[in-house]
């Protein structure tokens, strides 16, 4: 298995617990997605790498139909239960790998939120952008949320740690390769006498490179926006989105 499977099929739920429980944050981010994509009540929308469905269930309140798509079956099962508990009926959650996305001109808008792209080699990452472009109708919009590389470099830590609610200690070691634009991270999970190490290899393009990749994938009217409050991206913007439209 690769690191994506190791992380998301493994300890990710425990790390994600506080974010998942932060309903105010989710509502704020969903409002940002709705505004920046100019979503309408008649739209059909794709949440790519939807995880537990926290954004999809909020966005679904404002559109005709929502599709959440994620490779991790456990996340999709959680999202379906959450939808049933909240009586959200216009959302469909699908198990699928973004590398195998096959939708063709089916969506008015799509988004990928919370650094859920850049997991693979450059050719595969770019192919995913082209698959998203293919999934959109003419005039469809796509929003990709990501770490702002410049801001990350200014606060870059080679080592850090955290303690999860279940008592697990997580040790982080990071390095960045400027030739490839990839952050290499080693996460060591320690609980009682057990320890597990997962190596993460994430592509982090500079903002101008993300814009270029969007254009090369076929998107027009591309723009950068600070997330999740909107406005112009600055040197202090830690999270950004790139938005493009399918002609």
The answer on 233 and 157 residing in a single domain is no
The answer on 214 and 133 residing in a single domain is yes
Cβ 199 vs Cβ 185: under 8 Å: yes
Digit-coded pLDDT (tens) for 180-203: 999 999 999 999 889 999 999 999
Q: Between helices 207-216 and 122-135, what is the axis angle to 10°?
A: 60
pLDDT of res. 1? 55
Rounded Cα–Cα distance for residues 223 and 191 (Å): 44
Backbone phi and psi for residue 243, each to the nearest 5 degrees, phi listed first: -125, 135
The answer on 135 and 64 residing in a single domain is yes
Which residues are registered as beta bridge partners of 112?
A: 144
Rounded Cα–Cα distance for residues 66 and 44 (Å): 6
Residue (of 182, 28, 198, 40) closest to 113 by Cα position:
28
Peptide bond into 116 cis (omega under 30): no
The answer on 133 and 222 residing in a single domain is yes
Task: Record the pTM.
Answer: 0.96
The answer on 118 and 49 residing in a single domain is yes
Digit-coded pLDDT (tens) for 44-70: 999 999 999 999 999 999 999 999 999
The answer on 137 and 27 residing in a single domain is yes
Distances (CA, A) of 65 to 41, 60, 110, 192: 9, 7, 12, 45
The answer on 163 and 53 residing in a single domain is no
Residue (of 225, 224, 222, 227) closest to 238 by Cα position:
227
**HSE-up (13 A, CA, CB side) for residue 227:** 30
Residue (of 90, 36, 85, 41) closest to 68 by Cα position:
90
pLDDT of res. 182? 98
The answer on 88 and 19 residing in a single domain is yes
pLDDT of res. 80? 98
The answer on 45 and 97 residing in a single domain is yes
Residue listed under structure tokens 């001109």? 105
The answer on 52 and 174 residing in a single domain is no
Rounded Cα–Cα distance for residues 90 and 86 (Å): 11
For 74, the domain range is 3-147+206-245
Which residues are registered as beta bridge partners of 189?
A: 170, 196
The answer on 164 and 138 residing in a single domain is no
pLDDT of res. 13? 84
The answer on 92 and 10 residing in a single domain is yes
Total residue length of the chain:
247
Segments of the chain scoring below 50 in pLDDT = none
> How many structural domains is the chain composed of?
2
Buried b (16+ CB within 10 A) or exposed e, 202-233: bbbbebeebbebbeebbbeebebbbbbeeeeb
Q: Can you give the CATH number for the domain in which 141 is found?
A: 3.40.50.150
Q: How far does Cα 70 stand from its chain's mean position?
A: 10
Distances (CA, A) of 86 to 37, 57, 124, 216, 238: 24, 9, 36, 40, 32
Largest Cα–Cα distance of the chain, in whole Å? 56
Digit-coded pLDDT (tens) for 214-235: 999 999 999 999 999 999 999 8
Rounded Cα–Cα distance for residues 183 and 181 (Å): 7
């Amino acid at each position: 298995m690769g690191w994506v499977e190791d992380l998301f099929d493994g300890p990710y739920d425990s790390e994600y617990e506080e974010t998942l429980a932060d309903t105010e944050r989710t509502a704020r981010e969903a409002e940002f997605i709705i505004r920046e994509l100019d979503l309408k009540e008649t739209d059909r929308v794709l949440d790519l790498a939807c995880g537990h469905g926290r954004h999809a269930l909020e966005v679904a309140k404002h559109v005709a139909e929502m599709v959440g798509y994620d490779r991790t079956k456990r996340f999709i099962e959680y999202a379906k239960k959450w939808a049933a508990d909240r009586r959200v009926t216009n959302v469909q959650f699908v198990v699928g790998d973004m590398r195998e996305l096959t939708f063709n001109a089916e969506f008015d808008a799509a988004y990928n939120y919370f650094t859920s792209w850049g997991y693979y080699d450059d050719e595969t990452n770019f192919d995913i952008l082209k698959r998203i472009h293919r999934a959109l109708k003419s005039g469809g919009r796509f929003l990709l949320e990501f770490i702002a590389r410049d801001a990350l470099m200014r606060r870059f830590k080679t080592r850090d740690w955290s303690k999860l609610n279940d008592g697990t200690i997580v040790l982080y070691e990071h390095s960045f390769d400027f030739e490839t634009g990839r952050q290499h991270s080693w996460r060591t999970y320690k609980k009682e006498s057990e320890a597990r190490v997962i190596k993460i290899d994430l592509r982090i393009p500079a903002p101008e490179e993300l814009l270029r990749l969007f254009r090369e994938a076929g998107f027009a009217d591309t723009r950068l926006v600070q997330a999740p409050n909107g406005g112009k991206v600055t040197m202090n913007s830690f999270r950004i989105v790139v938005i493009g439209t399918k002609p």
